[in-house]
Each structure stands twice: as structure tokens, then as C-alpha cells.
Amino acid sequence: MTRYSPRVVACALLLSLWVAVARAATIPSPSEFLGLHVGADRTVADYRQILAYFKALDAASPRVEVEILGKTTLGEDLFLAAISSEANLAGKARLQEIARKIADPRGLADAEAEALVREGKVFLFVTCNIHSTEIGASQMAMEWAHALATAEDAETKRRLDSVVLLLLPSINPDGQIMETEWYRRNLGTRYEGGRMPWLYHHYVGHDDNRDWFMLTQKETQAVSGAVYHEWLPQVWLDEHQMGTTGPRIFVPPYSEPVDPDIHPLVWRDVNLIGANMAFRLEQAQKSGVIYGYVFDAYWPGGTKNTAWWKNISGLLTEVASARFATPVRVERNELSGGGKGLVEYGPQTNFPNPWPGGTWRLRDIMDYERILSDAILETCAERRADFLRNALARARASIATYGPADAFRIPAGQRDAAGAARLAALLAEHGVELRATANGDVYVPLAQPYGRFVNELLTPQRYPETKLVPGKEIVRPYDVSAWTLPLMMGVSAERATLPGGLAAWQAAPPALPLDGAAFALAPGSPETARLVNAGLRGGVARIARSAVSAGGREWAAGTVFLDGAAAKAAAAKAAPGQSWASIGSVPPVAEPLRAPRVGLYKPWTASMDEGWTRFVLEQYGFEPKTLDNKTVRAGGLAAAFDAIVLADLAKEVIATGKRKRDEGSMRYSPEMPPEYAGGLEKEGAAALKDFVERGGTLVALGSSSEYAIDELALPVRNGLDRASDFAIAGSLLRAEVVPDHPVTYGLPPEVAVFLDEALAFDTVPPGPEIERRVLATYPAASQDVLLSGWMRGPEAIARKAAAVALTYGKGKVVLLGFRAQHRAQTPGTFPFLFNALYWSTAR
């Protein structure tokens, strides 16, 4: 060991002190860097400013590293900042390798595992601001990062030595930018801090936190890639905001119910962290902290929720909101409970210190968030070895839940081979390991770290009927209650024994031969719409209106025939598992098919279902045009459109632009700027009627059916609107399909339909001027109607119609009572919607 003179030591100490001071001096605070007072009333940094600040931190500090995860829907850079000690960031590759082995400990000996626990660091993933109006965390993230980058105290250094913080200041950058622009535009006006009249994500708005098992959006895909393929964190915190007039902050433990297939150590980690958050908040004299309230631990649609089944300790926090960055004053009498875990506002064991009311501002939100953020970092550092050991134990338990030969099989050659290929690709994207036989059967072994996740998504749900007090009433689902992918996708996947000697899975290439004069594309897969729509725009397509033989084979009604040019255009859109047959010539009985001109109604209420519908139609090549109130009211629609689609909207929203619950309740809806107020009104309803009478096709999804029924006086009604015993929460039901109607081409005799409200049709025989066909029916009461999820009172829905088609004037109306395209998660019933659009161009 080298010996230094006291003088050298003193110099070295002085030098290190100087380096520390210089570092702090050269790393500007976010307020200094941006030239605005971060956290002040009516002041917000937008996402581009936040990214610029983090890039500056990265340049100035060896403790911060910015990583771009990908592009958002509207082309912004989605980033995370890795924040840790200089040594940890320098040794990132090794630490990632350790995290990977802890997440997948197959083949790891105990001694080796213990060595990894000693060497490894906790990877703490913190996501902020997925909901763009919940702006606080995106601002707090900058201040937190600055503090961690500049701190020289021993405690912060110890935390940064034990933990690698992976901080994402906003996981919906597009929406953060939209909301900050909208807020700045309305500052100082009567609309300050008010709701935006469009979605804060180009397609899905608030439902960006419902996409985490289906992974349809770019942001979800990028973040999931970082979590399940790159970093493999053990702990994930997602920071949200909630309403203004209840508790100030929710921290875990969660409320009921809990999914029994999630490892209990997930909840033990989560509860330990949540307890420390509450503890530190109370110490800092922050009142209004609640746990065991509203937010459950059951449904896998949200960010960190999906991660529970993948052995990650996922936490949610929810801080009360201001009016964006504008302070609100809450009077004492306005404070209310009303949710699970707090019926009346007042002290309880889970809420010992209620907030008394007063002014609530952005700075309060950021202060609460900063304390809970520091608290999770503290617990992760304190419990470093425990949390790594627990993650290891969870992964091992998941693997040991199943025998080595337990598996699911996704058979080759099934009705919708492209859908089956899509399911396999989705599981792979989730980090699930797949294998395949030479003939294309895909096997999903269950004895792997994400085995419980696989089982959750491939088997039917049975909602746990938890009661909080004795009696009849159960805790109702927070969101939907079914997510069984094979049913939702119309794909078959069954439990099977894993054969030996399988190869690793690879996506099967499409089989679309281009040698020949004509090509036949059988109906039945939603994926064919991509090919048909591309083909229609690149060449000539025809459709068989009844079964027909061609190329030595029978083709079902709904088969589309493409000429060479159409096939070439279509092949460019090919997906795995797709195929068509080369035939000699197109059968002459087939009718010409042209691309439907589709209009999609968009209210100014920021409808998520409108967004999802637009997303699905665009993804499949329908190129819908948006119709706002003004455009519909102007009329003349029949000249421009073949079909107009109404997404799932309450009839009052379509008619007036206001929700029914806004009337009579204590909920107050602030005014909208006049150009965004109102609905279709009388002129819009008349214009839609005129559109149909002149030959247009009106497609009404979900609740919009009731608007169409009322406005067109159809011989149909909702047979469940007075069924008080009936209740449902996003469940999958069995429906029998009536074959050989243009709207049911290619569908199997029985489908799983997704229903989330009391809506099923009774019809009556109409007069001769209307032709009415029921397209799908719920089975008789003696048969099981519920396939997955939760419902009450199945007798009420027995034998009612799930979907109805009618002719009307020269046009047509299609009513789909179930959610045919719910959150882009139900491809099995997309064909009802797609076929209805093709039907609109039929003579």
C-alpha cells in the first residue's frame, strides 16, 4: 500500500471537494437551464424542454445516461435516463447480465445465484405521466434527476451505489406536448386548465394505460422492449394523478381483489415500499395519505400491472390533481370518499390524517411525488439484496409452477393461420420463449420465468368474487374482467405436452405466390383486410357472393379474387402465416369489389373508442376520413362516403356533446370553447338519415346502436336496458353466428364477443320496406354464455341478438351491440366491422 504524506492527502481532499463543487456548479438546475420556474403556478416545461434538460444532464454528469428507446406515434424521441453511481453506469453491461440471470435463473446453481445477489444492483424502473393531464411527475422528474446528479452526501451516494434508477419522465411524449400547448394557449382565458377536446394520444388517449398485454401502440412497444428485453428491472413504479376532491395521495398496498396467480412476494415488496412512502410523507407533514383504496391488483392492462405476472414488483401512486398547473381551492365540505376503501371522508386506519381542504397546486403534487420517489429509492437501496433474492425466488417459483413438459400448443393449419402467427409473435415480444415443430405447430413451454403470464393470457378468467362485508355485494371489477387472447383473437391454443427436440420459434414467412394470373384469398382472418385493401388500390379485385369453385377447389362466400397487379400491391402488406392460392382465372360470377370510402365520426369529447376505431381502420388499410359535428351537420354525405362508422358512444354524446351523467349529478363540466361545444344536434341526425336513405351504410358500434335505433326509428331495441339483474364488466360471451350474410363472411359458427355494458337486441318483424337480418345471437339460457370474465344474470341475455343488419331506404344499417374492435384487442370479431364496410359498396 502506498503511503502518502498528510499534505498530499489534504491536497487530494481539497481537490475532490473542488471537483464536487465544480460539478454542482456546472450542472444547472432545470429552472436555470430552461429559464422558467419549474413547479411554479401556471408554469410547465414541455416534453422537448425536458428531453433537452436530460441531454444536458447526461453531458454534464457521469451519473446520468440518456437512452432513446424509439419514436412515438407522432415522431418524438421516447427516452429513459439511467441514473446511478459512475461505477454502476460504467459497468452497465455486467449489471444487465446479472439482472437477466436473476429474471431467468434456469440452470443457475445456488452458490452462483448468491454471488449474483451480492454483486447485483436493484434496477428500479420509474415511469411518469403516461396520462398527459397528470403533469406533475414529468416536472418533478427533472428536479429529482438534478438532485441525484449533484448530491454529495453519503446517503444519496449509497443509494446510487445500490440502485440503478431507470427514469422515464413521460411515456406519452406526444400527449405531454399536446397538453402543455393546449394549456399555454388558454392561459389567462376562461378555459384555463380545461379539458382538451381531443385525445392526448393520437389514437388511444387515456387507454394508453390499457394496452400493456396487447402491445399495439409504439410507446407501449418501446417501453415493453426496455423492460422485458433490455433491463429486466425488479421494481417498477408508475406515477399517476387522480381526482381533486378525495385523498391527496394513494400509495400501495392495493385494494381488493388480488389475482391469486401473482407471487405473494410481489405484494410483500410492494407493501414494504408503500409503507415507507407513507412513512416519509407523514414525517414531512404531508397529510391525506391513503392505501387500500380504489386501485386493485387484478387486471393486467396497465403498465406495471402486466409486470406482476412477470415477477416484477409493480407499484402505482396517485396524487390528487390541480387544474393542470393552475391551483384549485377545495372547500372542506367538497372533500369526499365514495370509493373502495374510503366510503366517507374521514380518519380511518388506512387514512389516519385526512387533508383538511384548502389550496392545492402543481408544487404540492411535485412535493408529494418527490418524497415518494426518494422513499422508493431508499427502500430499494436498503433492501438491495432482499429485493434481488425475492426476484430470483419469484422467477424460480414461476418456473416450478409447471412440469417440464407442460405447454400450450398453437396448432399450425388452423382456420386463421395469420391470427395464430400474430399471437405467437405477441408472446415473443413479451419476452416469452417459444418453440416450433417442422410443420409449424408452435409450443409455449410453461416452465419458464413468464409461465404464469402465459397461462393468464391463454386461459379463461374467473373473477374472484371478493366481499368486503358479509352479504350479497361483491367488489366489482375496476376495468374489464377478461383478457383471454385466443378467444379475443379467434385463434386456437390448447394445453399440450411438450415434445422433445423442438427448434426455437421463428415467425413463419407468408406464402403468397405471385406466379399466375389470378389469386384467391379465403375470408375469415381479419389480417386478410390488409391484403384486400392494398389489392383494391393497386389492381382489380372481385368478391364471391356465394360459394364458388375455382382452381379445382371450392371457395366460400366472401372469397376475394385478385388480379396480378392487385396481388403485387397486396403482397407488400403480407404478414406471417398469410397465404393465398394461385388460380387460372377469376370466376366470372364474382362481383367487382371497390375500396369503401369510410367516414368516422369524431365528437369533441375525446372519445377513446373513436381513437381505437381509427387506429384499427388505419392499420388494416381502410383509410378512414374523420367527420366532426360541423361536417356531418353540413350534410351531402352520400356523395362522399359509402360507409359512416359511429364508434361506441353514448347517444347523448352524439346528439348533444354532453354525457348524461353530467346532468343532475354534482359533477361540473367546465365550458368548452364554442367551436368544440355541442353534438350532431337535429341537423346532424337528419344528415345521417339522408345519407342512409340515399344509399349509404351506417355502422353503429356498441352504445351508438341506441342512437341509430332512436334516430332512424328502427324495429330494434336494447332488450337489456331494463334488466336490473344483469351486470357485466368487459367479458367474453359465446355468440352464434348466422352464416352467409355479407357481414358474417368467413366467420366461424360460434365466436367469442366482448361485451362491456347491458346491450343486446330485441327485434320485431318490420314492414316490407325494411329487410332485417339478425347476424349473431346469444345462446339459450341452458348453454354457457360466459366464456371468460364476470357477469351477473345470464338469463337476461339468452337468445337476444348480438348484431343486426337492416336495409333502409336505398342504404343499410349495421348494429354491432358487442365491442367488435375493443381497444384493438378483439381481432376475432374485427371481420364484423370490416365486412360491414365492404358490404357498403355492394349493389
| DSSP H/E element including 704 | helix 704-712
CB of 829 to Zn ion, least distance (A): 28
Binding piece for Zn ion, criterion CB under 5 A, among 130-138, 228-236, 283-291, 757-765:
130-138
Q: How many CB atoms lie within 10 A of CB 441?
A: 18
Whole-number Å distance between alpha carbons of 36 and 45: 8
Instruction: Supply the Cα-derived Rg of the chain in whole angstroms.
Output: 29
Sheet architecture: strand order including 581-583: 581-583, 518-521, 560-563, 541-543, 591-593
Place of cell 415522431: 75
Restricting to residues 232-291, name those near Zn ion by CB under 5 A.
240
Q: Is the separation of the CB atoms in 713 and 688 below 8 Å?
A: no
Nearer to Zn ion, 131 or 597 (CB): 131
CB of 708 to Zn ion, least distance (A): 33
Nearer to Zn ion, 368 or 726 (CB): 368
CB of 167 to Zn ion, least distance (A): 18
Nearer to Zn ion, 608 or 692 (CB): 608
Q: How many CB atoms lie within 10 A of CB 453?
A: 26
Q: Where are the alpha helices (DSSP H) in 61-109?
A: 86-90, 92-103
Nearer to Zn ion, 234 or 321 (CB): 321
Nearer to Zn ion, 240 or 323 (CB): 240
Q: How many CA atoms lie within 13 A of 209 on its CB side?
A: 22
Binding string, 677-706, against Zn ion, x = CB under 5 A?
Answer: ------------------------------
Nearer to Zn ion, 131 or 812 (CB): 131
Q: What is the DSSP letter of 426?
A: H
Nearer to Zn ion, 131 or 452 (CB): 131
3-class SS of residue 412: coil
Q: Minimal CA–CA distance to 178: which of 148, 209, 144, 201?
A: 201
Q: What length does the chain have?
A: 843
Whole-number Å distance between alpha carbons of 699 and 705: 8
CB of 127 to Zn ion, least distance (A): 11
Q: Minimal CA–CA distance to 291: which of 221, 226, 231, 348?
A: 348
CB of 170 to Zn ion, least distance (A): 12
CA angle 416, 421, 422 (to 5 degrees): 95
Binding string, 306-335, against Zn ion, x = CB under 5 A?
Answer: ------------------------------
C-alpha cell recorded at residue 681: 344536434
Place of cell 391527496: 248
Binding string, 84-123, against Zn ion, x = CB under 5 A?
Answer: ----------------------------------------
Binding piece for Zn ion, criterion CB under 5 A, among 125-133, 341-349, 454-462, 690-698:
125-133
CB of 131 to Zn ion, least distance (A): 4
Nearer to Zn ion, 65 or 134 (CB): 134
Restricting to residues 134-173, name those near Zn ion by CB under 5 A.
134
304 is an interface residue for Zn ion by CB under 5 A: no
CA angle 627, 632, 636 (to 5 degrees): 115
CB of 354 to Zn ion, least distance (A): 22
CB of 352 to Zn ion, least distance (A): 25
Residue selected from 101, 131, 633, 822 as contacting Zn ion according to rule CB under 5 A = 131
Nearer to Zn ion, 129 or 744 (CB): 129
Q: Which residues pair with 122 in a beta bridge?
A: 163
Restricting to residues 170-189, name those near Zn ion by CB under 5 A.
none
Whole-number Å distance between alpha carbons of 72 and 74: 5
CB of 821 to Zn ion, least distance (A): 23
Nearer to Zn ion, 200 or 402 (CB): 200
CB of 719 to Zn ion, least distance (A): 35
Tell me the number of residues near Zn ion by CB under 5 A: 3
CB of 602 to Zn ion, least distance (A): 23
Cα 656 from chain centroid (whole Å)? 28
Which residues are within 8 A (CB) of 700 and not within 5 positions of it... i.e. 6 or more apart?
Answer: 646, 707, 708, 813, 814, 815, 816
Is the dihedral angle over the CA atoms 574, 579, 583, 589 positive or is it negative? negative
Nearer to Zn ion, 127 or 162 (CB): 127
Binding site for Zn ion (CB under 5 A): 131, 134, 240
